[in-house]
Chain A
């Protein structure tokens, strides 16, 4: 098993270090396993319920295993109005999974995001953190092609 404490410990004395620690775990695992949340609580000397609260509060963290490529669709108001739902439908259709799920081959995960700060070109999706603006349902196969 992975030594989570080793990953987490460097952040123990930082202010708000728990967020950094979770990012570090997620960089390795793609999600926050239960054991990692428990280990984080121990390192930061807080109850597990608090560490779990942080892990589930931020949409950037996931507590379920995720695929190699994380596709996040902005659902904040501007993107929503610009047609985020049609993009969601197209992605779900193309990948054969629902939002929040991972493809059986472990390649793609679909998630919602809050405003990612690219409102000049809505609707916006990000893949592994890289933003794609002005996305239309038609452009989906081509964008996904880059990652297949």
Chain B
């Protein structure tokens, strides 16, 4: 430990700490822009400069290590003046249209401009007139707003190992863009949206489709049916000033009905169904010598990644569609039949924590109901905007009930939203199917938490199954390289594209760090623990679906509606 004085406050911090960390320990906040708590130091924006006794020049707090006896001033007149100038220089190249920006009131640059009392800018305002990139169904890049912090590039290259974004040119010509001057659709981008969370400003965001929803609700010929993913409920509160996890499920249903959804159903229903199909698929592969290890297939960003970087291993992917797409295929067949509704009138909307789901819904093969299975995908953030637009007061919204046939769910479906959840849910069911015994303790705690790769060996009545869980594609890559090399010891591998699983998905409320992800994970397991049913095969509506419609897991109907195939992406460059 070394002793450091920050603004007169004495603190003891570890030897390799930075000024920024020491200041935090002293309770002093230093502004940052390029710095990100889950990323390596970049030190390219200089907004964090401080005065260090004995040094002539101001030092960047995020990158300068402390030494014993260091004396730092974070708020001297020279420091404040320098920061103000840095802000003015950034703003001189930044569009001045905060009111129209998707990150209005949730932008790190805007917050600093307000705090540093930027009123008139002495520098001439010159922007570059760079066009937006709207080439994908999931994301929009607005390079005009980019402040070149390179946080998105770090998320994309270091955490996701996708390498879709990089620096082009230098000096005042510099840009953070896909390689070769191409748009995102041509780049290896897998639409995970992690760059959105990384971006301090509004330079990358989801493709917004709220107007499409409002038009459908206004259309008397359309019956608007929604599903929502498990990770949505626990994060949506954050969009309307509630604590993480605090939004009540039934209040949420009530709110959706108030907005004008005709029927509210649940992706959790098809999450339970996924476990039935995927669990049996795994057992079949183990028994019949099929391709192993089998990879889960519910994360469309992960599917894109596999099709892009591991096309040689597509046969290892479970053929199960994601819960979103299983739902889409069933709502216009089974559910329409049950409800005696013309499927042509059903407008199926899914609310997802995910940007890649927008892409997935648009895949040409996702039409096994005879229609486009999912018509529209909204992210959790878009739902938040919809709630604020419609002015709902959540202390007064009357709780509502899920509609029948595809609204019931178990705790096993709820935990799909967190890394390890699909694995745990699968094990709860597979155990009982294989052993014929009741699983007394349903908690497979090895599967939980933010550790990058988790593994275990499970004994199913003598049948030993080795499993692994990876989240964030950098971790997935490690597991995948083993499979490619033929040295993977596993039978079953769960992979989620986003760090933390869907709770950290690219469509979730802007997530500043992994601390928030852990909070959401906690909320998900406490929801699971509070439910009466916690095994997918106990879901009464799933049982009814098999009895009346599908007849058996992996049966003929299932293959038609619930399973899919994958195609190598053959990107021109990686």
**Contact A50–B180 (Cβ < 8 Å):** no
Minimal Cβ-Cβ distance residue in A for B167: A53
**Interface 9-mer from B157-165, B233-241, B346-354:** B157-165
A49 at the binding interface (Cβ < 8 Å): yes
Minimal Cβ-Cβ distance residue in A for B178: A49
A147 at the binding interface (Cβ < 8 Å): no
Q: A49 is contacted by which of B169, B170, B179, B572 (Cβ under 8 Å)?
A: B179
A47 at the binding interface (Cβ < 8 Å): yes
**Interface 9-mer from A23-31, A33-41, A81-89, A116-124:** A33-41
B166 at the binding interface (Cβ < 8 Å): yes
| Bound form: Cα–Cα A57–B179 in Å | 13
Q: Is the interface of B mostly helix, strand, loop or mixed?
A: loop
**Contact A52–B180 (Cβ < 8 Å):** yes
**Contact A53–B166 (Cβ < 8 Å):** yes
B168 at the binding interface (Cβ < 8 Å): yes
CB distance from B573 to the nearest CB of A (A): 4
**Contact B157–A52 (Cβ < 8 Å):** no
Contact with B along A60-95 (1 / 0, CB 8 A): 000100000000000000000000000000000000
CB distance from B190 to the nearest CB of A (A): 14
**Contact B573–A41 (Cβ < 8 Å):** yes
| Bound form: Cα–Cα A52–B178 in Å | 9
**Contact A52–B169 (Cβ < 8 Å):** no
**Contact A50–B170 (Cβ < 8 Å):** no
Q: Which residues of A contact B573 (CB under 8 A)?
A: 38, 41, 48
**Contact A47–B166 (Cβ < 8 Å):** yes
| Bound form: Cα–Cα A47–B157 in Å | 9
Q: Which residues of A contact B157 (CB under 8 A)?
A: 47, 49
**Contact A48–B167 (Cβ < 8 Å):** no
CB distance from B154 to the nearest CB of A (A): 12
Contacts A38-B573, A41-B573; A48 near B180 (Cβ below 8 A) = yes
Q: A56 is contacted by which of B163, B165, B169, B178 (Cβ under 8 Å)?
A: B169
**Contact B179–A48 (Cβ < 8 Å):** yes
**Contact B574–A47 (Cβ < 8 Å):** yes
| Bound form: Cα–Cα A57–B163 in Å | 18
| Bound form: Cα–Cα A100–B507 in Å | 41
Number of chain A residues close to chain B: CB under 8 A: 14
**Contact A34–B180 (Cβ < 8 Å):** yes
CB distance from B237 to the nearest CB of A (A): 37
Contact with B along A99-140 (1 / 0, CB 8 A): 000000000000000000000000000000000000000000
CB distance from A54 to the nearest CB of B (A): 10
| Bound form: Cα–Cα A23–B178 in Å | 23
CB distance from B308 to the nearest CB of A (A): 12
| Bound form: Cα–Cα A37–B178 in Å | 14
| Bound form: Cα–Cα A38–B181 in Å | 13
Q: B169 is contacted by which of A48, A50, A51, A57 (Cβ under 8 Å)?
A: A57
| Bound form: Cα–Cα A56–B176 in Å | 12
Q: Which residues of B contact A48 (CB under 8 A)?
A: 163, 179-180, 573-574
Between A34, A47, A49, the greatest number of chain B beta carbons within 10 A of the residue's beta carbon is seen for A49
| Contacts of B144-175 to chain A: CB distance below 8 A | 157, 163-170
| Bound form: Cα–Cα A47–B573 in Å | 9
| Bound form: Cα–Cα A56–B574 in Å | 17
CB distance from B348 to the nearest CB of A (A): 37
CB distance from B254 to the nearest CB of A (A): 47
CB distance from A32 to the nearest CB of B (A): 10
**Contact B574–A53 (Cβ < 8 Å):** no
Q: Which residues of B contact A37 (CB under 8 A)?
A: 179-180
Q: Which residues of A contact B170 (CB under 8 A)?
A: 56-57
Contact with A along B188-222 (1 / 0, CB 8 A): 00000000000000000000000000000000000
| Contacts of B328-384 to chain A: CB distance below 8 A | none
CB distance from A4 to the nearest CB of B (A): 13
Q: Which residues of B contact A56 (CB under 8 A)?
A: 168-170
| Bound form: Cα–Cα A130–B116 in Å | 50
**Contact A47–B168 (Cβ < 8 Å):** no
Q: Which residues of A contact B181 (CB under 8 A)?
A: 63
Enumerate chain B interface residues (CB-CB to A < 8 A): 157, 163-170, 178-181, 572-574
Beyond A48-B163, A48-B180, 20 additional contacts (C-beta under 8 Å) are: A34-B180, A37-B179, A37-B180, A38-B180, A38-B572, A41-B573, A47-B163, A48-B179, A48-B573, A49-B157, A49-B163, A49-B166, A49-B178, A50-B163, A50-B166, A51-B179, A56-B168, A57-B167, A57-B169, A63-B181
7 cross-chain CB contacts under 8 A? A37-B179, A38-B180, A47-B163, A48-B573, A49-B164, A52-B168, A57-B170
Q: Across chains A and B, which 9 residue pairs bring their CB atoms closest together, nearest first? A: A49-B166, A47-B163, A52-B179, A49-B179, A48-B573, A48-B179, A56-B169, A56-B168, A53-B167
